[in-house]
Amino acid sequence: MRKLILTILAAGSLVLSNSATDAEAAINSNSTVVEQSSTESQNVEQVAASKATKLSGTYKFKYNTNVRQDAGTKYKKVVLAKKGATATATHQKKVGKETWYKVKVGSKTGWVLSSLVSKVTTKKAVTSSSKTTAKSGTFKMKYASNVRSGAGTNYKVVTVAKKGATATATHQKKVGKQTWYKVKVGSKTGWVLSTLVTPATAKKASSTVKKASNSSSFDSKVVSEALALKGTPYVFGGTTPRGFDCSGFIQYVFKQAGKSVSRTTLTQYAETYNVSNPQPGDLVFFANTYRSGISHVGIYIGNNQFVHAGGSKAAVVSLNDSYWGSKFHSFRSF
């Protein structure tokens, strides 16, 4: 009798198991999802699952991957996430030796094996800004310049200070590599880039105020200098006739014509003012080309045409061009 009882107990302790061969490794990145368990001999029905805990972050799929109803390959597929697709994680859960993430892919929510995704690290777009410190002195505007509500070109224009206008500084602030002054111009107070002003005690130039005839002559020289550079190769960061980018082209042309201007598209935009009736020699700005916001500049030459360093070389282009016409932002002048 004792032998019989032991035999029955031994038989009752047997546990049936099925080999788990289904898993989430998507090996073919083009179209096929191949699933292979990281623990092929593991019994799926016997894996202990921990409680779901909170998780945050954005992830990208390394392969075409099945997103499932719950943490495990035995659960129904919710959606097939394509390689490179992004997902927002909300929870994580440990199942045996594997970790699963609960993610939202588009409008679908489900679980994915953690080894099949990689975390997306986003660079902070915020430019570091120092504290505002006291600044005193009287300055003159080198050019017609935008005075803004804050220290940066992304702030609203409070007023356009004319070339030669005086401004009283009260504060300064370092934003990235640039220094901005808080100034009072007439009855308006705002911020201006330090490179756009000069101390009022500086020696006055005899050519501070141009006569109309001289201005016209200068603009003609700008256009002729720009047209003489047609065919020069486009080189990102280029500032010489060996190769130009758009703002380097502007800086070089104006220097040849006898005027110093700043180096970048954004600072050239900041030191100019809007004009509704452009004249040859004025600048024409474009937005949302290779980046969002103001991103390209050329020189207006009349007849709805402009010359610029863009594409493969410096060339004359019509503002009726399907691409440039759609990116047009404004005409501006110094």
Mean pLDDT of 157-184: 92
Helix (H), strand (E) at residue 12: helix 2-12
Give catalytic status of residue 171 as yes or no: no
Across the strands, what pairs with 301?
none
Q: What count of Cα atoms within 13 Å lies in the side-chain half-sphere of residue 29?
A: 9
* % of residues, the chain, pLDDT over 90: 68
pLDDT score, position 86: 92
pLDDT score, position 200: 83
Mean pLDDT of 311-324: 94
Residue of 193, 167, 189 lying closest to 181 (CA atoms): 193
Question: Higher pLDDT residue, 43 or 182?
Answer: 182
Query: Which residue matches tokens 């003609």?
Result: 220
Mean pLDDT estimate for the chain? 83
pLDDT score, position 176: 87
Say whether domain 133-199 belongs to CATH 3.40.50.300: no
Residue 47 — pLDDT band, cuts 50, 70, 90? low
Digit-coded pLDDT (tens) for 260-269:
999 999 999 9
**Rounded-to-integer distance, Cα 21 and Cα 25, Å:** 11
Mean pLDDT of 7-32: 41
Give catalytic status of residue 296 as yes or no: yes
Q: What count of Cα atoms within 13 Å lies in the side-chain half-sphere of residue 129?
A: 12
Q: Which two tokens stand for residue 92?
A: 């994580």
Q: DSSP secondary-structure letter at 114?
A: G
**Other residues' Cβ atoms within 10 Å of the Cβ of residue 197:** 23
Rg of the chain taking only CA atoms, in angstroms? 33
pLDDT score, position 48: 66
Mean pLDDT of 44-61: 79
The angle subtended at Cα 29 by Cα 22 and Cα 116, nearest 5°, is 55
Digit-coded pLDDT (tens) for 249-263:
999 999 999 999 999
pLDDT score, position 177: 87
The dihedral through the CA atoms of 43, 48, 50, 52 has a sign that is positive
pTM for this prediction:
0.40
CB-based burial label for 184 (10 Å; 0-12, 13-18, 19+): middle
CA distances from 82 to 78, 98, 143 (A): 13, 22, 53
Strand 294-302 vs strand 145-148: parallel, antiparallel, or unpaired? unpaired
Q: Which two tokens stand for residue 285?
A: 């700005």
Under CATH, domain 212-333 is a member of which superfamily?
A: endopeptidase domain like (from Nostoc punctiforme) (3.90.1720.10)
The dihedral through the CA atoms of 273, 275, 278, 284 has a sign that is positive
Mean pLDDT of 120-133: 67
pLDDT score, position 87: 93
Amino acid code (one letter) for 40: E
Residue 43 — pLDDT band, cuts 50, 70, 90? very low
Report whether pLDDT(127) > 80. Answer: no
The domain spans of the chain are 21-119, 133-199, 212-333
The class that CATH gives domain 21-119 is: mainly beta
Evaluate whether 21-119 and 133-199 have a shared fold: yes
pLDDT score, position 89: 94
Digit-coded pLDDT (tens) for 185-217:
999 999 999 999 999 864 444 444 444 555 778
Q: 61-75, 122-136, 207-221, 264-278 — which is least confidently predicted?
A: 207-221
Torsion angle, CA of 179/121/288/241, rounded to 10 degrees? 60
- Listing from the earlier edge strand, what are the strands of the sheet with 166-175? 157-161, 145-148, 188-193, 178-185, 166-175, 133-141, 197-199
**Rounded-to-integer distance, Cα 247 and Cα 331, Å:** 15
Q: Kindly name the residue from 91, 171, 246, 329 that is annotated as catalytic.
A: 246
The angle subtended at Cα 251 by Cα 202 and Cα 180, nearest 5°, is 50
pLDDT score, position 136: 87
